[in-house]
Structure 1
């Protein structure tokens, strides 16, 4: 069944990917109508999240943010599909880096990097960074259930010397690279919600206490890697600007979870500036009522 699904769906995705951007975003507008206006995909979750973190906003303001979010969400979907066939020149034109020299400087210092980001703006085209640096790139991801689409996604990333690894593989792969003296830059989307009973750290995110993933910080300390945050700004439709910020070059100097807390403060700043570009469909605050006594 997986192969049949791949054979049926892949040609459709490929045809969508070769559309010129003007038509691609027209297609995104059509998806928006069905997803938001007709079917209301996760609309209840989106509005509940927004009301939760923005209690002072009116229903009109919540609805405005919701509508803008779904427009952006649909754009990200078609941009992900566009990754199948987008040229390197187009990607460089549309996904720019304001200060890639920060990464270049760490490279000169022979520092491996943990690169942290959130589900904000657009992270789909960050892999073009590999054309500006010499690092070998790894990105932690959740394996797709369909093994054929999983291979496809890995193949797309590999074009830019980036390699996808699962959470379970991460420590072993990075430790092996370190022993071989490979310089690596390792991407973590670190704002997901871990299972409440497995969380080592709870703190406030957008004013609400939740469990936080600490894996990126732990790896940085174990393997002595610099920690860098990247933020993405939407300049206009289909165009993004990425800025890097060094959280620390010496993670072992920080108390446990301090790096994680700094990361979340940076994410909050992004959200407060333009909330429509955060991924509100995720139930990020679902464990807010399960805070263990020791974290209260």
Structure 2
């Protein structure tokens, strides 16, 4: 059945990827009308998240953020498909790295880099960074259940040479690269909510105490990789600016969990600047009432 669904879907996806951007966004508008108005995909989750995070905003203000988020959500889904047919010239024009020299300086000094990103604005086109750097690039991801669509996503994200690796195999691959003195770049999205039984640190995110992922920080401390936050700003429909911010060049000199908290703080700043571009469909605050008693008054 998985193969049948893939075979039926792929021609349409391929056709969409070859369409001009103007037509692509007309389709996106139609998908928005269907997803938001007819289906109401995860609308309850989005509304609960916005009410939790922005209690000071009026219902009308939160509704505006909600609608703008869904429009962006649909745009990004179509942009991911467009990656199949986008040219290098197009993507360089639409996804601009504002200070790539910061990244290149780290490479030139022989330092591997951990790029930490949230589910904000766009991460699908960050893979074009491979056209500007020399290190071997990896991206940590969670596989899709349908193995055929999983391969398609890996092919899309590998277009510029990035190798996708599962979370379960990431630490070994990174450790092996360190042993081989290989210069690497690893991208990871770190703002999800960890499983409660794996939560090792709690911190406030958008004013709410939640467990946060610390895996990227732990890898940096064990390998000497430099943690770099990637701030992505949406400047127009289908246009983004990505800016690197080095969190520290010496991760082992930083107290435990401060790197992870710094990442979450940068993510919070981006959300407050333009909340409509954060992915509110995630149940990011689902463990907010399960903090250890010792931290509940934190």
The TM-score range, normalised by the shorter chain, is over 0.9
Q: Is the 8 A contact 2:127 2:158 kept in 1?
A: no
Q: Secondary structure of the equivalent of 1:229?
A: strand
In the aligned structure 2, how far is the partner of 1:76 from the partner of 1:156?
14
1:111 maps to: 111
Q: Secondary structure of the equivalent of 1:125?
A: helix
1:217 maps to: 217
In the aligned structure 1, how far is the partner of 2:122 from the partner of 2:224?
28
Q: Post-superposition shift, 1:126?
A: 0.2
2:176 maps to: 176
Task: Give the CA RMSD over aligned residues.
Answer: 0.9
1:163 maps to: 163
Q: Post-superposition shift, 1:173?
A: 0.5
1:43 maps to: 43
In the aligned structure 1, how far is the partner of 2:217 from the partner of 2:272?
24
In the aligned structure 2, how far is the partner of 1:197 from the partner of 1:294?
17
Q: Secondary structure of the equivalent of 2:241?
A: strand
1:54 maps to: 54
Q: Secondary structure of the equivalent of 2:210?
A: strand
Q: Deviations over 1:43-78 (max 9, x none)?
A: 111111001000100000010100111110110010
Q: Post-superposition shift, 1:274?
A: 0.4
1:83 maps to: 83
1:32 maps to: 32
In the aligned structure 1, how far is the partner of 2:158 from the partner of 2:38?
37
Aligned length: 296
In the aligned structure 2, how far is the partner of 1:264 from the partner of 1:164?
24
Q: Deviations over 1:276-296 (max 9, x none)?
A: 000000110010011112433
Q: Deviations over 1:80-132 (max 9, x none)?
A: 11011111111111000100000000000000011101000111100000000
Q: Does the alignment pair 1:143 with 2:140?
A: no
Kindly report which structure 2 residues correspond to 1:140-289, keeping only aligned pairs within 5 A, or say none.
140-289=140-289
Please identify runs of 4+ aligned residues in structure 1 that moved more than 3 A. none
TM-score (norm 2): 0.98
Q: Post-superposition shift, 1:159?
A: 2.6
In the aligned structure 2, how far is the partner of 1:150 from the partner of 1:37?
29
In the aligned structure 1, how far is the partner of 2:2 from the partner of 2:63?
38
Q: Deviations over 1:170-216 (max 9, x none)?
A: 01111111112211110110000011221000110000000100000
Q: Post-superposition shift, 1:148?
A: 1.5
In the aligned structure 1, how far is the partner of 2:278 from the partner of 2:151?
28
2:68 maps to: 68
Q: Deviations over 1:141-185 (max 9, x none)?
A: 001111122222222233312011111100111111111221111
In the aligned structure 2, how far is the partner of 1:276 from the partner of 1:158?
28
In the aligned structure 1, how far is the partner of 2:152 from the partner of 2:80?
12
